[in-house]
Structure 1
Amino acid sequence: MATTTAEETAAEQVHEKAEQALGFVPNLITEITDENPAVADAYLTSQALVEEDGVLSAAEQQAVILAVSSYNDCHYCTKAHAVAGQQAGLDAETVETINEGGLPSDDRLKSLVRATRRILGKRGWLSDVDEAEFADLGLERPELYEIVALAGIKTISNYVNHIADTEVDEPFQT
């Protein structure tokens, strides 16, 4: 793809944003930015908004992200978020359990992972019974909508990684 000065500037800004947020520019961000800086910026910006202003804790968000990434069978994101999940407070056993398709032992995380998988499996078409079940578990629409947002954001990276077969960065190889 031939780049213009404006595209190069946009790419530099995206790389700076990634560097500030993550401490380095992951291969995923380089891949997206090289092809379409606007998509990379949208991905990073939306992720930052939900991380900063969402109703779920960082550990809860990571549990949801792991559930989405394992559901979508993304080799890159399951490894990246295994590290991010532990940094956010998830223990290694919980991370492994979610990545293997199981449910964590913690009741709140179990509810979030179960809700995430049901939302994905039903493509968002939750019944009144589903919503009532999740409400009984403490998951109301604010939490469900955040799960939907995280699923959308992670689907961008999951699918890009499928298309590009992105090499997993050294910091994520544990």
Structure 2
Amino acid sequence: MANLPISRFPVPEIADLPADIAERILAVQEKSGFVPNVFLVLAHRPDEFRAFFAYHDALMDKAGGITKAEREMIVVATSNANQCQYCVVAHGAILRIRAKDPLVADQIAINYRKADITPRQKAMLDFAMKVSARAHEVDDADMETLKSHGFTDEDAWDIAAIAAFFGMSNRMANVTNMRPNDEFYTLGREAPSS
């Protein structure tokens, strides 16, 4: 339903945006074939757009002990707990593509404990969910559990930061009534050919 609004707040035209933001949005459009609505909705506030995407990129595009697919698993699981339709749909699509698995995103969104993922990934998501809902209860035992699955302190920081950042993102997506692009629903649904 492309004619429904993508936000309850004003959405600027790309041509009216500061050059750096317009360039970023057009680069995303070139790469993906469409403009994810999050870019247009958050462009309502250019300074916050820049800060949001700088932190997003620092968390989601870095090298480390957590793969890019695992980072997306964190987003999908915690966004579902926060009832963020936009992030579950959009990051579910990215997860399907990064994991090369058409089923994993739906499994994680519905109940990651029953998803076809490793015990290490379940421990990662247990920790992320605790950070998302009950960060005040995180203790040394949680850190030891992560270490027993091969995660470092830096990995624990990354898991926590992703869960925390997307908690904020989920809340803004819900308040703005951000609508997922129709394109996200079908991305990565085909099983990769062997």
AA in 2 matched with 1:53: K
User: CA offsets, 1:133-169, max 9 Å, x none?
Assistant: 2211222321111112212332333122101111210
Structure 2: stretches of 5+ with no match in the other structure? 1-9, 187-194
TM (norm. structure 1) is 0.83
Structure 1: stretches of 5+ with no match in the other structure? none
Give the whole-Å Cα distance in 2 for the aligned partners of 1:113 and 1:38.
Answer: 31
Counterpart for residue 84 of structure 1: 94
- Contact kept, 8 Å, 1:70 with 1:78, in 2: the verdict is yes
From 170, 174, 183, the equivalent of 1:162 is 174
From 74, 77, 81, the equivalent of 1:71 is 81
Q: Which runs of 4+ in 1 moved over 6 A?
A: none
- Contact kept, 8 Å, 2:84 with 2:170, in 1: the verdict is yes
Counterpart for residue 51 of structure 2: 42
User: CA offsets, 1:52-102, max 9 Å, x none?
Assistant: 324111111111111121121101110111110011015233211210133
TM (norm. structure 2) is 0.76
Percent identity over the alignment?
18
Counterpart for residue 155 of structure 2: 143
- Contact kept, 8 Å, 1:14 with 1:37, in 2: the verdict is no
**Structure 1 pair 123/59, CA: closer, same or farther in 2 (3 Å)?**
same
Counterpart for residue 119 of structure 1: 131
Question: SS at 1:15's partner residue?
Answer: helix
User: CA offsets, 1:1-32, max 9 Å, x none?
Assistant: 7x9xx963354244245446655321111011
Give the length in aligned residue pairs.
171
AA in 1 matched with 2:62: D
- Contact kept, 8 Å, 1:63 with 1:112, in 2: the verdict is no
From 40, 58, 66, the equivalent of 2:68 is 58
